[in-house]
C-alpha cells in the first residue's frame, strides 16, 4: 500500500502562523502535524509515501528527508503552480499503479486504516471517502417554510452533517479523471465521476478526527498527549 500526503497548500486559515511554516509543519506539542501523520501511517504498515509539496516545500523536505529515521521511504513532488487538492496526483501517474491512500497533510485521526481499506476492497469501486459526523452551530434563527407560510422555526440550531475527513482510498482508475497541469479539486473529481456514473463510496468513522487547518481543532490537538496516547481505533498492519 502506498500513501500520498497532500502538503502543497498555503494554510490561509492559520495565518499569520503559516507565513513562516507550511501547515503540515505546524507544531502539535513537541512534534509537527506531518510527523504525527507519518508515525500513524508507519504503525499501519505503510512504508512507501509520496509527499506533494508547493508552498514552502523546501522546509518539508529539509525536515523529513528521505524518511529513513522512521523506517519509511519518502519521495517528493513539487508544484510549480498550485494544482488544487488532487491535481498533484497527475505528477504521480506512473508511480500509483495499485490501490493507494491519499490524505491531507493537516489532519490527525485514529481511523482504522485496515478497516477502511478492507471496506474499499469489498465494494470494488475506484474511490472511497472516509467520513465523520461534524456538528455546526448556526448563529441564526432557521425558518422552514412552505410557500410563504412558516411551518417550523429553530433558534440557532446545531446541525450535524457527514463530512469528508480528507482521507481517500483510490484505484489507479481514478487518475484518468485528473487533468495535467490544471488546478483540480477533490470536489471536481467527485462531480466528474458522478457525471460519468462511476460510483463513489464512503466509510464512516466515529473516532478521533481533527482538521488542523481550523483554529479550534488546532487548539484541541495541543491538549492531547500524542506520545502517550494509544488510539482506540488504531489499525493493525495492512
Listed residue (207, 129, 127, 212) closest to 173, CA to CA: 127
pLDDT for res 11: 52
Domain count, the chain: 1
The rounded distance, in Å, linking the Cα atoms of 69 and 33 is 16
Q: Is residue 53 part of a domain?
A: yes
Per-residue pLDDT of the chain (238 residues; tens, 9 = 90+): 899 999 876 655 555 555 567 888 888 888 899 999 999 999 999 999 999 988 788 899 999 999 999 999 999 998 888 888 899 999 999 999 999 999 999 999 999 999 999 999 999 999 999 999 999 889 999 999 998 999 999 999 999 999 999 999 999 999 999 999 889 999 999 999 999 999 999 999 999 999 988 888 888 998 887 765 544 444 333 3
Q: Which residue has the cell 523506517?
A: 71
pLDDT for res 229: 53
pLDDT for res 231: 45
Q: Is residue 227 part of a domain?
A: no
CATH of the domain at 116: 3.90.550.10
Cell triple for 225:
498527549
Q: What is the pTM of this model?
A: 0.87
Q: Is residue 235 part of a domain?
A: no
Q: Is residue 6 part of a domain?
A: yes
The rounded distance, in Å, linking the Cα atoms of 143 and 238 is 48
Q: Please report which residue ranges of 89-152 form alpha helices under DSSP H.
A: 113-123
Q: Is residue 33 part of a domain?
A: yes
Angstrom distances, CA of residue 172 to CA of 90, 129, 215: 11, 15, 34
Q: Which domain holds residue 58?
A: 2-222
Q: Is residue 21 part of a domain?
A: yes
The CA-based dihedral angle spanning residues 228, 229, 230, 232, taken in that order and rounded to the nearest 10 degrees = 160
Q: Is residue 234 part of a domain?
A: no
Amino acid at each position: 500500500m502506498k500513501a500520498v500526503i497532500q502538503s502543497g497548500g498555503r494554510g490561509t486559515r492559520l495565518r499569520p502562523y503559516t507565513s513562516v511554516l507550511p501547515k503540515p509543519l505546524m507544531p502539535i506539542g513537541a512534534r509537527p502535524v506531518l510527523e504525527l501523520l507519518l508515525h500513524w501511517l508507519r504503525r499501519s504498515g505503510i512504508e512507501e509515501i509520496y509527499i506533494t509539496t508547493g508552498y514552502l516545500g523546501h522546509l518539508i523536505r529539509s525536515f523529513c528527508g528521505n524518511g529513513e529515521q522512521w523506517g519509511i521511504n519518502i519521495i517528493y513532488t513539487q508544484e510549480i503552480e498550485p494544482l488544487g487538492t488532487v491535481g498533484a496526483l497527475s505528477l504521480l501517474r506512473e508511480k500509483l499503479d495499485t490501490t493507494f491512500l491519499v490524505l491531507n497533510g493537516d489532519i490527525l485521526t485514529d481511523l482504522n486504516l485496515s478497516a477502511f481499506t478492507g471496506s474499499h476492497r469489498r465494494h470494488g469501486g475506484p474511490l472511497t471517502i472516509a467520513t465523520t459526523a461534524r456538528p455546526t452551530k448556526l448563529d441564526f434563527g432557521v425558518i422552514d417554510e412552505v410557500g410563504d407560510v412558516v411551518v417550523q422555526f429553530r433558534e440557532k440550531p446545531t446541525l450535524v452533517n457527514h463530512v469528508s475527513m480528507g482521507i481517500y482510498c483510490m484505484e489507479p482508475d481514478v487518475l484518468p479523471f485528473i487533468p495535467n497541469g490544471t488546478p483540480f479539486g477533490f470536489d471536481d473529481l467527485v462531480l466528474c465521476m458522478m457525471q460519468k456514473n462511476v460510483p463513489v463510496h464512503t466509510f464512516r468513522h466515529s473516532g478521533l478526527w481533527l482538521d488542523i487547518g481550523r483554529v479550534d481543532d488546532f487548539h484541541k490537538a495541543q491538549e492531547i498527549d500524542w506520545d502517550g496516547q494509544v488510539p482506540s481505533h488504531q489499525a493493525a498492519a495492512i
